[in-house]
Amino acid sequence: MRGKSVSLDSVSMRFGDFTAVQPTTLTIQAGEFFSILGPSGCGKTTLLRMISGFMSPTGGTIRIGDADVTALGPNRRPTALIFQNLALFPLMPVWENVAFGLEVRGVSRRDRREKAEELLALVALDGQGDKLPTALSGGQRQRVAIARALAVEPAVLLLDEPLSALDLKLRQHMRTELKEIQRKTGVTFLYITHDQGEALTMSDRVAVMRSGVVEQVGRGDDIYDNPATSFVASFVGESNRLTGTVDSISGGFATVSTRFGTLTARSGPGLAAGDKTIVFIRPERTRLQDTPDGAGLALRGTFLRRDLEGPFINLFFDCQGTPFSAHITNDSRHAAETGTDHWLRIAPEDALALPAGALARDE
Amino acid sequence: MNAVYRSYGPLLGTIILLGVAVWTLAMIVGPQLFMIEQSLWRMEQPDSAVTAGMRIEELNNALSLAQYDLGALEGTTDPDKMAEREKLARSVSAMEQELTTLQGQDTAPVKVYTISNYTEMSGYHAEIFVKTIGASLMVTLIAFAVCYPVAYAAAKLAKPERAALILLGLVIPYAINELLRVFAWLMILDYQGVANSVLLWFGLPEPVRFLDSGAGVFVAMVYAYVLFMVFPIYNTIETLDTNQIEAARDLGASTWKIHSRVVLPHAKPGIAVGSIMTFMLSAGSFSVPHIMTRGTAQPWFSQLIYSKFYDSFYWNQGAAYAFTLLLVCVAFIILMMKVFKVGIRDIAK
């Protein structure tokens, strides 16, 4: 099996007056694990359905490898789709499910069975071929769906939030498995999700979508550390926000006046002196101190409460009316008391100033 | 039973159970048992009565002959003839005595239990029986062929509002009395009816005898029972996850494969229920063949049953015919369940 690239050229989708996907140009490399991340209703599923062939775009062209597939139906594209609810055939035993794509291609029963067993072994379901899908656990059904999709040797595997129905432990386990299967087969994976954890852990690259627009495409680290827009910054991961005005920009750093004083932060794209800005600070990069010492701005915050997340603890502070949170590693040493004051220091390299524009409009 | 008592309490529970029992007995078991009982006996003259009847006949003949001879010998004076006359008179009185004894015997027919009601079906009736079953199977098949695409289109292809319209369109004719609908078809398919007028206008040399050939029965019957096929199939197809159809297509399946491997297997219980209902209604239909053939084509088996009951007042054989038909219908149900591998519970759904 060998993956192929997917290129979208100004692909758009309109339903009447509503534009589900604005003209989008995007290239997914052959053999890449690519995720499209966005909240529900952002157009990611529409995009997926256009690539799979269940919807025809109202504009633009879609290429898979070198072939223009815009006008082809789903049964004539080298793609296979894994549905959110998996859509296994409940009346067929597992092996027939897996071999369905081969059956409709006229492969003989013996060869089908052989191929199905091979694929079931790939997804660690050896010997389960004669069971009905309903007799399997959620994670096993998941793997049947993957095997069924891989049976037709697709160049591109499209996955529509297939893990959303699983419980946390299984979901984490399946992430590793999906990545492993992708590595073994070399097929291009296009993964749709609203779960940033899934997107960041599995993907080679991630596209973040909102309201039919791809706002940023990049590696997980880029998306997380250097979000291009205020939406990406707030959607991916948690963040504290301070609003202010840009005084000056130099050497990639902006000086921002806030009501807590002047702050130095990394300057995001499209920011100019005089702009309204939102400064994003990740809770885990917020330094909790007993004194205001050190580079950058220090805020005085009153401790409100703590949420135990397991590996880390989320501490909530009130900084003169602005909520602020900080993550600390759960090493059982920090035992703050409600009502006590602390210093929250923001180092310049841990803060990112982005144009307030789009996000301010939303809120 | 305990569950009923637990959920409804002793009073309400007893009422519910009684209701069920009364319903089962009065509506299902009772009439059937009555019918079966009727079919297993007939009124017959006892053997002795038959021989006695023949003897009475014989005696009557001999008696009138003897009395004639006696009359001819009236007033004779010849001693030979006198002796002959005396002998005749003695035998007449002996015959008269025997006749009185015989006539005194009970000659009323008696109830005899027998299976001959079942075994005595004439060749002609047996032929009609087989033809009725065959024709009902055909009606079922045609109804399925017509209904499956409609049900699929309404359940999966059409937008919800349009699907509602399609189904409404199917239901509306059923608000009209069945007889009226059948008469409407009679007018359409009549020798001088609408269909023939149209065909003649298109240049057909002479009208087609739709009704005499029995084809009219088919058309009207498919029309009359189509709904009983559409709705069960529609209901099951509607519960099919559309993603499964899309998944099949995505994996490269042709339309035929999608239906044969995904949609049809899922719709099996609905098809079984629809077929059972259509078959039973067709096989037991009286009004449709009665109106549509008007005696010009072979009758339907149900018409034979009717005439056994009401024309020849032979209830026992009528009951046997009716029970035979019921047995075939039950056999059909079991066959359908085997063929479609569905249980009673799937059908109940």
**Is residue A182 within 8 Å of A26, Cβ to Cβ?**
no
Do B261 and A81 count as a contact with CB atoms less than 8 A apart? no
A91 interface with B at CB cutoff 8 Å: yes
What single-letter amino acid sits at A209? Answer: M
Higher per-residue pLDDT: A1 or A305: A305
Q: Which of A75, A84, A88 sits opposite B250 (nearest CB)?
A: A75
Please tell me the distance from the alpha carbon of residue A227 to that of residue A236, in angstroms, as a whole number: 8
Residue B334: burial class (beta carbons within 10 Å; 0-12, 13-18, 19+): exposed
The CATH homologous superfamily for domain B120-348 is: MetI-like (1.10.3720.10)
Q: Least CB-CB distance to A101: which of B243, B244, B252? A: B252
- Confidence grade of residue A1 (pLDDT, cut at 50, 70, 90): low
Mutate to test the interface with B, among A81, A109, A134, A160 (most CBs of B within 10 A): A81
Q: Which pLDDT belongs to residue A188?
A: 94
Q: What is the pLDDT of residues A61-118, one digit of tens each?
A: 999 998 999 999 888 899 999 998 899 999 999 999 999 999 999 999 999 999 999 9
CA distance B257 to chain A (A): 7
Averaged pLDDT for residues A191-201 = 90
Distance between A54 CA and the closest CA of chain B, angstroms: 8
- Checking if the pLDDT of A363 tops 50, the result is no
**CB-based contact A75 B254, cutoff 8 Å:** yes
Mutation target vs B (from A82, A88, A104, A105; most B CBs, 10 A cutoff): A104
- Tell me if residue A142 falls in helix, strand or coil: helix
Q: Is the CB of A52 less than 8 angstroms away from the CB of B241?
A: no
Give the H/E segment covering residue A150.
helix A138-151
Testing the interface with A: which of B159, B242, B250, B268 to mutate, by most A Cβ within 10 A? B250
Would you say A358 and A230 are in contact if contact means Cβ atoms under 8 Å apart? yes
Answer yes or no: is pLDDT of B65 > 90.
no
Residue A316 has pLDDT above 60, yes or no: yes
CATH number of A239-362: 2.40.50.100
Can you tell me whether residue A12 is helix, strand or coil? strand
Q: CA–CA separation, B222 vs B216, rounded Å? A: 10
Domain boundaries, chain B: 1-31, 47-113, 120-348
B249 has a chain A CB within 8 A of its CB: yes
pLDDT value, residue A168: 83
Contact A103 B261 (CB under 8 A): yes
Give the residue among B310, B327, B317, B329 at the shortest CA–CA distance from B38.
B317
Q: Is there a contact between B243 and A79 if contact means CB atoms under 8 Å apart?
A: no
Instruction: Kindly state whether B241 is in contact with chain A, defined as any CB-CB distance less than 8 angstroms.
Output: yes
pLDDT, residue A170, reads 83
Tokens standing for residue B298: 């072979």
Instruction: For residue A148, give the chain B residue with the closest CA.
Output: B251
pLDDT bin (cut points 50, 70, 90) of residue A122 is: confident
Percent of chain A clearing pLDDT 70 (strictly above)? 96
Give mean pLDDT, residues B293-319: 81
Q: What span, in angstroms and rounded, lies between the C-alpha atoms of A22 and A36?
A: 15
Chain A residues whose CB is inside 8 A of the B251 CB are 75, 80, 100-101, 104, 148-149, 151-152
Number of A/B CB contacts below 8 angstroms equals 62
Spell out a b/e string for B265-283, using b for 16 or more CB atoms within 10 Å of the CB, else e.
Answer: bbbbbbbbbbbbbbbbbbb
Residues in B touching A79 (Cβ below 8 Å): 250
Q: Is the pLDDT of residue B228 over 60?
A: yes
CA-based nearest residue to A20, from A3, A41, A37:
A41
Coil, strand or helix: which one is B252? Answer: coil
Contacts of B254 in chain A (CB under 8 A): 75, 104
**Mean pLDDT, to the nearest integer, of A115-135?**
90
State how far residue B254 is from chain A, nearest Cα, in angstroms.
7
- Does the pLDDT value for residue A361 go beyond 50? no
Q: Is the pLDDT of residue B109 over 80?
A: no
How far out from the chain centre does Cα B18 lie?
A: 32
Q: According to the model, what pLDDT value does residue B307 have?
A: 82
- Residue A103 with chain B: CB contacts under 8 Å: 257, 261
Distance CA B192, CA B199 (A): 11
A300 touches chain B (CB under 8 A): no
Cβ-based neighbour number of residue B177 at 10 Å: 9
Whether residue A152 lies within 8 A of chain B, CB to CB, comes out as yes
Would you state the pLDDT for residue B205? 83
ipTM above 0.90, yes or no: no
The length of chain A in residues reads 363
Percent of chain B with pLDDT over 90: 18
Are A6-230 and A239-362 in the same CATH fold?
Answer: no
Read out DSSP for A84-108?
TT----TTS-HHHHHHHHHHTTT--
Mean pLDDT of chain B: 85
Measured in angstroms, the CA of A46 and the nearest CA of chain B are apart by 15
Contact B249 A74 (CB under 8 A): yes
Of B241, B251, B253, the CB nearest to A80: B251
Residue of B236, B251, B260, B341 to mutate, testing the A interface (most A Cβ within 10 Å of its Cβ): B251
Question: Would you state the pLDDT for residue B227?
Answer: 85
Q: Which residue of B has its CA nearest to A87?
A: B244
Cβ separation B252–A104 shorter than 8 A: yes
Phi, psi angle pair for A71, to nearest 5°: -95, 0
Return the bridge partners of A281, or none. Answer: A240, A351
Using the Cβ of A87 and the Cβ atoms of chain B, whether some distance falls under 8 Å is answered with yes
Class of domain A6-230: alpha beta
CA nearest A84 in B: which residue? B243
The share of chain A scoring above pLDDT 90, in percent, equals 47
Q: How confident is the model at residue A358 (pLDDT cuts 50, 70, 90)?
A: low
| Pairwise CB contact (< 8 Å): B251 & A152 | yes
Average pLDDT over residues A267-292: 88
Task: Give the model's pLDDT for residue B274.
Answer: 92
B247 falls in which pLDDT band (50, 70, 90)? very high
Contacts of A153 in chain B (CB under 8 A): none
B residues 261-280 closer than 8 Å to A (CB): 261-262, 265-266
Helix (H) or strand (E) holding B41: strand B41-44
| 3-state DSSP assignment of residue B310 | helix
Provide, as residue numbers in chain B, all residues whose Cβ is less than 8 Å from the Cβ of A91: 265-266
Please give the pLDDT value at position B349.
Answer: 59
Residue A8 contacts by C-beta under 8 Å, 6 or more apart in sequence? A24, A25, A26, A27, A47, A51, A60, A61, A62
Q: pLDDT band for A34, please (50, 70, 90 cuts).
A: very high
Cβ contact, residue pair A104, B243, below 8 Å: no
Name the residue facing A101 among B244, B251, B262 (closest C-beta). B251
What pLDDT sits at residue B19? 92
Residue among B248, B266, B247 at smallest CA distance from A85: B247
Q: What is the DSSP string of A162-187?
A: TTTTS-HHHHHHHHHHHHHHHHHH--
The mean predicted confidence, pLDDT, of chain A is: 89
Beta strands in chain A (DSSP E): 6-15, 18-28, 33-37, 59-64, 67-68, 79-82, 156-160, 188-193, 205-210, 213-218, 240-250, 253-258, 261-267, 276-281, 287-289, 297-308, 312-319, 322-329, 341-346, 351-355
Taking the CB of residue A312, how many other CB atoms lie within 10 A of it? 16
* pLDDT tier at B152, thresholds 50, 70, 90: very high
Which pLDDT does position B106 carry in this prediction? 64
Residues of A in contact with B256 (CB under 8 A): none
Q: Which of A197, A138, A148, A202 is nearest to A175 (CA)?
A: A202
Query: Which candidate from B243, B250, B266 shows the least CB-CB separation from A74?
Result: B250
Number of residues that make up chain B: 349
Average pLDDT over residues B314-333: 87
Q: Does B159 touch chain A (CB under 8 A)?
A: no
- Which residue, A289, A320, A281, A286, is CA-closest to A302? A320
Which residue, chain included where needed, has tokens 């009665």? B290
Query: Could you give the angle at the alpha carbon of A220 between the alpha carbons of A219 and A225, nearest 5°?
Result: 105
Residues 6+ apart with CB under 8 A from A17: none
User: How many angstroms separate the CA atoms of A243 and A228, rounded?
Assistant: 17
At A321 the pLDDT is 87
Are the beta carbons of A89 and B244 separated by less than 8 Å?
yes
Q: What is the domain partition of chain A in residue ranges?
A: 6-230, 239-362
In this complex, do B252 and A105 lie within 8 Å of one another by their Cβ atoms? yes
Which helix (DSSP H) or strand (DSSP E) does residue A31 occupy?
none
Q: Which residues of B touch A54 (CB under 8 A)?
A: 246, 250
**Band of pLDDT at residue A332, cut at 50, 70 and 90:** low
Three-class SS state of B113: strand
Is pLDDT of A264 > 80? yes
